[in-house]
Structure 1
Amino acid sequence: MKDYTNRHYLDALEERVLIYDGAMGTNLQAMNLTAENFGGEQYNGCNDYLVITFPQAVEQVHRSFLDVGVDVIETNTFRSNRITLAEYGLQDRVEKINYEAAALARRLADAYSTPEQPRFVAGSMGPSGKLPSADDPELSDVPFDELVDVFREQAVGLIRGGVDVLLIETSQDILEVKAVIHGILKAFEQTGERIPIQAQVTLDTTGRMLLGTDITAALTTLEGLPIDVIGLNCSTGPEHMRQPIKFLGEYAPLPVSAIPNAGLPINVDGEAVYPLKPEHFAEAMAEFVEKFNISVVGGCCGTTAEHLRLLVEKVHGHKHPPRPGYDIPRLSSGVLAIEMKQEPPPLLIGERCNAQGSRKFKRLLLAEDYDAIVEVARQQVEYGAHALDVSVAVTEHPDEVGLMHNVVKKLIAAVPVPLVIDTTEPDVMETALKTAPGRCLLN
C-alpha cells in the first residue's frame, strides 16, 4: 500500500472521469511572443522559461482552459530538465523553473476550485531528448543513473511547487520512463512527499514507440513499476490511438489516460497545423470514455480551449466502471511482450548465451566478440526461443558487471525477445535492469 501524503487526485479519479487541459506550446506560439518576452535573444523560443520572464502568457493559457471547466491543468515544464534546458544555458535553474511553474498553476487551480469541482495540477515531465536504449552512441550517451538524477531534480521542484500528480508524458524510450520513475521515487525520499505518478507513452501511426516498443510491451514494463495511471498522449489524433487505447482499456490494471493531438499535423506554409475540429475531437474522446473505459481525457498539441469546452460538455461528471483487474504474467523486451504461460506450453528459454553452460559462448565472451555473441542469440530466436538466458560469470574475467552491461546492450539492439538475467550477484542484476528496456526475468 503506497503511503501518499496527497492522494486527492486519485480520490477524484475513483469518482469520475477527469478532464485535462489542452496544448500549452501551440497556444503560446499563437501569441507571437517576442525575444524580449523570453528574456532575451538567447532564450527565444524556450517556452518553459516564460514562467520566469513572462508568466502572464502562461497564466493566460491556464485560465483559458480553467474557464471552460477542465479538472486538471499541466505545468509549463515539459522541457524543464537539465538536459533540455542546457540548450539555452539554463541547466542551473531547473528547480527554480519547475517550482515557479508549479506554484503558478497551483495558485490558479486553487482559485478556480469549488467543493463540487476541485481543480488539480499535473507536473509535466517530458523526455530528455536522449534515447538510453538506442544503439546510437550519441543518443544513448547518458548513463541510467544520471537520467535518474536529472528527473529527480525536476520532480523536486514540481513537488515543492505543489503539484497533485507527476505526469511523465510523450515518452519515446521505455528505458527512459523507468529512469524517470526511479528519479521521482528519489524525489519522494528527498522531499518527504508521496503523490501519484501518471506515465504516458507516445506511439506513431503503426502503434509503436520511437524505438519499436508496442503497446503490450509498454504495459508489461510499466505495470510492474509503482505508477498509478497509465496512458497515451501526443503523436497522433484519436483515430490512430483507437486500437492501443482499446487494448489498455481492456487489459490495464490501472486507470487509463488518453490525451491525443488535434489530429496528425500537416505542413501549411512551413508551419505545423493540427486539422481535427473541436467537435470531432470531443466526439472521439467521448467515445473513448464510453466504449473503452478511459478514466482521464484531454488534449495535446493543437488543442485549444474550444476543443476542451466541447469535451467538458460531453464527459464532465461521467462515471467509469471498475478496472477489469486482469493478472497476466508477462515478460517484455524493448519491442514486444510474451506471456509466461504459453499455449501450447512450455515457455522456451534459450540457454546458449550462458557462460556456465556453453563453452562457445564463454570463448566469445572472453574474446569480447560481440558480433558473434549476437549471432548466437539470433539463432536461438530463429529456432523458437521465447526468451534468452544471459549469464556472463567467468573466473577469467572478474568484471561481471561490465560484461553484463556490454552483452545486454548488444542484445537489446539485435534480438526482439525478453531476457532472463542469470546471476547470483545483486549488482550484476541491477546493471542488467538498468540497461534492458523491458521487463526481465531474474534467475
Structure 2
Amino acid sequence: MGLNRVLPHQTTDRFLTYTGYETDLIFTQGIDLPGFASFPLLETDQGRAALARYYVELMALGQAAGMRVLLEAPTWLAHADRGAALGYDAARLAQRNAQAIAFLSQLRLHHDPSAIISANIGPRRDAYAADAQMSVPQAQEYHAAQLNTLAQTPVDLISAYTFSDPIEVIGLIRAANAVYLPVMAAFTVETNGRLANGMDLAGAIAQVDDATDGYAAYYMVNCAHPDHMALIDFATQPRVRGIVANASRCSHAELDQATVLDAGDPVEFGQLMAGLLQKAPQLTVLGGCCGTDFRHLRQIATCLT
C-alpha cells in the first residue's frame, strides 16, 4: 500500500475527486461499458487513453485551483460477481485490480506526486437495494478477495462508494482492517436524504462504527443531487468528510431508466456544493458523480476558491 501520504481525514486540505466518468464515457463519448464496468478499458491502448484523459485533467484542475486530488481507480465493479457476469475469473480480476493501481501510479508520478490513489469499491449487488443482502461474515469474505489483491499494491486508500446496506459496509471495513488498509465508506441517499431502507445517515454511521470499533477513516455521501444531500444535517456529522454529487435531481429509479444524460446546470451545481460546505466546513472532499463532467468540477473549484 501507499506510504507517507496525508489522507483527507488527517488534514484540513480540500480535495477534488471524480466518480462520474462512466456516465460521461457512455453518454458523451459513446464508449460502450458492458455492465457499467470501466475496468475492462485497462486492457487496450484506446481504453487506457480514454481513462487517462480524466485523471490528467483532474490533476491539472486541482493544481490550478490549489486543491489536492483523489484519483479513483476504475475498480468499482472489479469484484467477483460483477466480474463473473462479464466473463472474468478471479485471476483476471486480480490482474485488473493490480493494473489499475499501477496505471494511476504512473500518471501520478508524471503529473501530480501529491495525488492520492484510491481504489473505488462498489457493492456486491444493486447499489440502491433496500434489503440486507448478506450477513457480516459473508460480506467480509466476499470483499476480502478484492482487498487482498489491493493490499499488495501502492494504493493509498480504499473508497467504498454507493453503499446502501450498513451490514455490507461492516463486512467490507472488517476485510480492510484485516489487511491494514485505510478505508472510507460512502453511503448513497435517496431524494429524501435517507438510505434506501429508510435509515438516516447518522444511524447508519453509528451502526457501522459500533461494529468496527470506528475503523473507517471517515465517511462520505455520494450519488445524490446536492438538494437531496441538503436534507442531511452535516453540521452534526463530524465523521462525514466529503460529498460527491449527481448532476440530476432525478431519483435513482428514474436514472436507471434514463436513455439520455441529465447534466443539470453546472453553475448551479457548483453553487449548491459551496452552500453545503458553508454549513459544514468539515466537508473537505468534493466532487462529481453520475451525470457530471469537468464543467461541474470547474464550478466546484471556482466557487470554493
The interval holding the TM-score normalised by the smaller chain is 0.7 to 0.9
**What's the TM-score, normalizing by structure 2?**
0.84
**Percent of aligned pairs with the same amino acid:** 21
Deviation at 1:210, TM superposition (A): 1.9
In the alignment, residue 109 of structure 2 is paired with which amino acid?
Answer: D
Matched, 1:105 2:90: no
In 2 relative to 1, CA 226–162 (structure 1 residues): closer, same or farther, beyond 3 Å? same
1:50 paired with 2:49, answer no
1:47 alignment partner AA: S
Instruction: Tell me which amino acid in the other structure corresponds to 1:263.
Output: S
Task: Tell whether the 8 Å contact from 1:83 to 1:150 is kept in structure 2 after alignment.
Answer: no
**Residues in 1 aligned to 2:23 and 2:8: alpha-carbon distance in whole angstroms:** 31
Q: 1:179 to 1:272 in 2, by over 3 A?
A: farther
- Structure-1 separation of matches of 2:17 and 2:234: 19
CA–CA distance in 1 between the matches of 2:109 and 2:276?
29
Alpha carbons 2:218, 2:241 under 8 Å: kept: yes
- Cα 1:159–1:273 change in 2 (3 A) is same
Corresponding residue number in structure 2 for 1:242: 230
- Structure 2 residue matching 1:298: 3-state secondary structure: strand
Question: What's 1:199 paired with?
Answer: 185
Instruction: Determine which of 277, 284, 309 is the counterpart of 2:272.
Output: 284
Superposition deviation, residue 48 in structure 1: 2.0
Residues 236-275 of structure 1 correspond to what in structure 2 (within 5 A)?
A: 236-244=224-232, 247-252=233-238, 254-265=239-250, 271-275=259-263
Specify the alignment match of 2:141 in structure 1: 149
Instruction: State how many pairs are aligned.
Output: 288
Unaligned runs of 5+ in 1: 189-193, 317-443
Larger radius of gyration: 1
SS at match of 1:73: strand
> Aligned in 2, Cα 1:160/1:27: closer, same or farther, shift over 3 Å?
farther
Greater mean deviation of Cα atoms: 165-174 or 97-106: 97-106
Cα drift, residue 143 of structure 1:
4.9
Deviation at 1:10, TM superposition (A): 2.5
Structure 2 counterpart of 1:305, from 283, 294, 297: 294
Q: 1:120 aligns with which of 107, 116, 119?
A: 116
Aligned residue in 2 for 1:212: 198
Q: Which residue of 2 aligns with 1:229?
A: 218
Change (3 A) 1:206 1:228: same
How far does residue 68 in structure 1 lie from its aligned partner after superposition? 1.9
Cα 1:300–1:275 shift into 2, 3 Å: same
CA distance in 2 between counterparts of 1:85 and 1:249 reads 38
Q: How big is each residue's C-alpha offset from its partner over 1:258-281, in whole Å with a ceiling of 9 and x where there is no partner?
A: 1111122467x9514224222111
Residues in 2 aligned to 1:296 and 1:45: alpha-carbon distance in whole angstroms: 24
**What amino acid is aligned across from residue 298 of structure 1 in structure 2?**
G
Are the aligned partners of 1:165 and 1:198 in contact in 2 as well (CA < 8 Å)?
yes
- Give the corresponding residue for 1:319: none
Closer, same or farther in 2 for the Cα pair 1:46/1:170, shift >3 Å? closer
Q: Which amino acid aligns with 2:7?
A: L
Q: Partner amino acid for 2:267?
A: E
Contact kept, 8 Å, 2:121 with 2:159, in 1: the verdict is yes
- Unaligned 5+ runs, structure 2: 63-67
Change (3 A) 1:163 1:237: same
Q: Tell me the CA shift for residue 205 of structure 1.
A: 1.1
Q: Separation in 1 of the partners of 2:144 and 2:79?
A: 9
Equivalent of 1:25, from 22, 27, 30? 22
Q: CA deviation at 1:207?
A: 2.3
Equivalent pair of 1:22/1:304 in contact (CA under 8 Å): no
Q: Please list, as runs of the form range in 1=range in 2, the aligned pairs for 1:33-432 lying within 5 A after superposition.
A: 33=31, 46-53=37-44, 54-69=47-62, 71-92=69-90, 93-113=92-112, 118-129=114-125, 140=133, 142-188=134-180, 194=181, 196-224=182-210, 225-234=214-223, 236-244=224-232, 247-252=233-238, 254-265=239-250, 271-293=259-281, 294-315=283-304
Summarize the Cα distance change of 1:18–1:134 in structure 2 as closer, same or farther, 3 Å threshold: closer
Retained in 1: the 8 A contact 2:8–2:285?
no
Cα 1:44–1:248, aligned 2, differ >3 Å: closer, same or farther? closer
- Asked if structure 2 preserves the Cα contact closer than 8 Å seen for 1:166 and 1:197, the reply is yes
Question: What are the superposed Cα offsets for residues 148-202 of structure 1, whole Å, 9 maximum, x if unpaired?
Answer: 12212212333333221110110011100001111112233xxxxx4x3111100
> CA–CA distance in 1 between the matches of 2:249 and 2:264?
8
Distance, in Å, in 2 between the alignment partners of 1:207 and 1:220 is 17
Query: TM-score, with normalisation over the residues of structure 1?
Result: 0.59
